Amino acid sequence: MHIRLLAVGDRQPAWVDTAVATYTGRFPREWKFRLDTIPTTRRSKNDQSRQAMVSEGELILAKTAAAERVVLLDERGAQFSSESLARKLSEWQADGRDLCFVIGGPDGVSDAVRQSAELTWSLSQLTLPHGMARAVLAEQLYRAWSLQTGHPYHRA
């Protein structure tokens, strides 16, 4: 199973890149993690954010593969404990499909992207900056793996 993060926003603070690299560097080799970014659609003062979402959504859909399980990260999604995420990840690994996590742009994602997702996952009831969401996703995937394998990283 390969894991990919597809995120709108190609410029993040250095700490985001460092945090994501720290955790993804610990992932098992068979996950072959990859981060793909889509530039944020330019918005003007009078821009309708709906059009920007649609434009970004078209780019997201063009970069997702039909065989991938798409998991949208969105504040309105289901929440998981670390243990339940580890179980969910085990289910996903057992079915053998590649995973594509999606983080939308500053205004969210289009309805088309929302409908293409097999699961919508909320990392928190808090609204997180998109860079923070990247770092939390990487850490939680590493934590889920550590729970699956009995690695001491997760201490309950």
CATH number of the domain that residue 65 is part of: 3.40.1280.10
What does the pLDDT read at residue 107? Answer: 86
Binned average pLDDT, 10 residues per bin, the chain of 156 residues: 94 95 95 95 74 92 95 95 95 94 93 96 92 97 94 76
Find out whether 128 and 136 touch, Cβ atoms under 8 Å: yes
DSSP-assigned beta bridge partners for residue 120: 72
Find out whether 31 and 3 touch, Cβ atoms under 8 Å: yes
User: What residues make up the domain containing 22?
Assistant: 3-37+52-149
Half-sphere exposure of 31 (CA within 13 A, CB side): 23
In a domain, 72, yes or no: yes
Domain count of the fold of the chain? 1
What does the pLDDT read at residue 52? Answer: 86
In a domain, 42, yes or no: no
Half-sphere exposure of 134 (CA within 13 A, CB side): 30
Torsions phi, psi of 69, nearest 5? -85, 115
Cα–Cα separations (whole angstroms), residue 89 to 69, 128, 129, 143: 12, 22, 24, 11
In a domain, 46, yes or no: no
